[in-house]
């Protein structure tokens, strides 16, 4: 029998945790509940105790057996720690490593995987501080689910609603029986933009944030792969379990990729600059010299080179960022670059820098159109497809 420790935070969505307990128990998962101080204002310990048929813990001081380090025991008896609803405050304290109540003490003391299902007001979810905390937690290896979008209890509309209990249960079941099919595989991922210098202070770049490539590196690592992430300049922490090699220019990226081979799979997600400035200036160009005439020369095509290298990985996957005739261009790119698969996305909207993505997977047998999803979900699906193919 699998066991979870369910931490119920102080949000209106706490009532949905009651339904989650029922669903878990029906799925044969034992649930022990911890209710935060804030949580007691939304559901009672009695409700959770009745549904879980187990004692409910609320404060650090009601663990009678502190001699046995009760709070550590509690976090270790479970196979998974689930935080639902994870409020903005709880996520912030988790990200900072604060341990000022029973819930956060357990979260800091646990050696088990942690899954958080956020629920909060849309502005709180979109606030820079929450964005930063979620990125930190994900880099620490915590699975933070994407909240649902819709009408909120506070009358606003947008992302921030607790995912529906069946969706949380599915994530719990996935976390309890992790897919480790990429164990023993070496996967090489490129991500982010490249910066091509004009002079020591100026460069040519593009709008790539690196988010999709980083999500793919994280998804492959979560499935057990050894991941080398060759990254252009981005503002993201290296995902847990990956080895990151930071580069700036396309030529540096090409060299790092070559040095990282052999690999079983290469996934070239980087938005590599097609051209660089020929003879970039050693000293800062002065305005008084007048507008410089920049002469551009082609950069190496890293994807094409990897796909025709003697050390060609078994599966070579490219990306195609297109603004029109997406599938047609992607199909042509697959052939021209000798990639096995091309993941094509329409970047005419706000995909670049955003958190969601809608893609088409172009393979030798045809085109699959995937429904729009978070970049993390697209990454998971791609990692699963890779495991199927190997």
Residues that bind ligand CTP (CB under 6 A): 190, 250, 268, 270, 272, 274, 299, 301-303, 318-321, 333
Cα–Cα distance, 374 to 330 (Å, whole number): 21
CB nearer ligand CTP, residue 91 or residue 269: 269
Strand partners, 182: none
Q: How far is the CB of 188 from ligand CTP (least distance, A)?
A: 11
- In terms of CB distance, is 333 or 360 closer to ligand CTP? 333
First to last CA, the chain: 32
Per annotation, catalytic residue among 18, 24, 33, 154:
154
Give least dist CB 53 to ligand CTP, A: 52
Q: Within 13 Å of residue 79, how many CA atoms lie on the same side as its CB?
A: 13
Task: Report, in Å, the least distance between residue 172 CB and ligand CTP.
Answer: 34
> Is the CB of 171 or the CB of 227 nearer to ligand CTP?
227
DSSP code at position 193: B
Cβ neighbours for 96, distance < 8 A, ≥ 6 positions apart? 133
Name the nearest CA neighbour of 161 among 282, 15, 266.
15
The closest of 55, 14, 13, 16 to 32, measured between CA atoms, is: 55
Residue 342: closest CA among 355, 356, 326: 326
Q: What is residue 364's DSSP assignment?
A: T
Q: Is 154 a catalytic residue?
A: yes
Closest CA to 158 of 117, 132, 118, 121: 121
Please, which residues have CB within 8 angstroms of residue 258's CB and are 6 or more apart in sequence? 305, 309
How near is the Cβ of 204 to ligand CTP at its closest, in Å? 13
Please say which residue, 83 or 320, places its beta carbon nearer to ligand CTP. 320
Residue 304 CB-density burial (10 A; 0-12 exposed, 13-18 middle, 19+ buried): middle
Query: With the C-alpha atoms ordered 197, 198, 204, 209, is the resulting torsion angle positive or negative?
Result: positive
Sort strands 373-374 and 356-357 into parallel, antiparallel or unpaired.
Answer: antiparallel
Rounded Cα distance between 136 and 361, Å, is: 30
- The residue among 208 and 242 lying less far from ligand CTP, judged by its C-beta, is 208
CB of 301 to ligand CTP, least distance (A): 4
Q: How far is the CB of 93 from ligand CTP (least distance, A)?
A: 38
Taking the complex as a whole, the smallest distance from the CB of residue 335 to ligand CTP amounts, in Å, to 12
Residue closer to ligand CTP (CB basis): 146 or 340: 340
Residue 375's Cβ-side half-sphere holds a number of Cα atoms within 13 Å equal to 19
Residue 38 or 318 having the CB closest to ligand CTP: 318
Please list the active-site residues.
154
């Amino acid at each position: 029998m699998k066991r979870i420790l369910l931490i119920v935070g102080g949000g209106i969505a706490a009532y949905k945790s009651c339904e989650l307990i029922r669903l878990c128990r029906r799925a044969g998962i034992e649930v022990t509940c911890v209710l935060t101080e804030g949580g007691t204002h939304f559901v009672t310990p009695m409700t959770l105790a009745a549904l879980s048929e187990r004692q409910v813990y609320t404060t650090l001081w009601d663990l009678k057996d502190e001699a046995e380090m009760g709070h550590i025991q509690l976090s270790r008896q479970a196979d998974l720690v689930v935080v639902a609803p994870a409020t903005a405050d709880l996520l912030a304290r988790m990200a900072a490593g604060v341990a000022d109540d029973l819930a956060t003490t357990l979260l800091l003391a646990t050696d088990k995987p942690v899954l958080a299902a956020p629920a909060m007001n849309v502005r709180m979810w979109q606030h820079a501080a929450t964005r930063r905390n979620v990125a930190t937690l994900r880099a620490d290896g915590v699975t933070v689910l994407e909240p649902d979008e819709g009408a909120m209890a506070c009358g606003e509309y947008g992302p921030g609603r607790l995912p529906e209990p069946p969706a949380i249960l599915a994530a719990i079941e996935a976390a309890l029986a992790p897919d480790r099919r990429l164990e023993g595989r070496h996967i090489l991922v490129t991500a982010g933009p490249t910066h091509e210098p004009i002079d020591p202070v100026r460069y040519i770049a593009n709008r790539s944030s690196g988010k999709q490539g980083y999500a793919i590196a994280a998804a492959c690592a979560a499935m057990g792969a050894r991941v080398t992430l060759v990254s252009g300049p981005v503002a993201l922490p290296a995902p847990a379990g990956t080895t990151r090699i930071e580069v700036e220019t396309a030529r540096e990226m090409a060299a790092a990729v070559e040095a990282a081979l052999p690999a079983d799979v290469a996934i070239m997600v980087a938005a590599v600059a097609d051209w660089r400035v020929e003879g970039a200036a050693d000293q800062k160009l002065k305005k008084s010299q007048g507008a410089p005439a920049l002469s551009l020369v082609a950069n190496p095509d890293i994807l094409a080179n990897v796909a025709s290298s003697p050390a060609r990985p078994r599966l070579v996957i490219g990306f195609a960022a297109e603004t029109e005739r997406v599938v047609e261009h992607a199909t042509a790119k697959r052939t021209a670059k000798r990639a096995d698969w091309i993941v094509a996305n329409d970047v005419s909207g706000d995909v670049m820098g955003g958190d969601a993505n809608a893609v088409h997977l172009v393979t030798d047998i045809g085109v699959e159109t995937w429904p729009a999803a978070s970049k993390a979900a697209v990454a998971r699906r791609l990692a699963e497809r890779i495991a199927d193919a190997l």
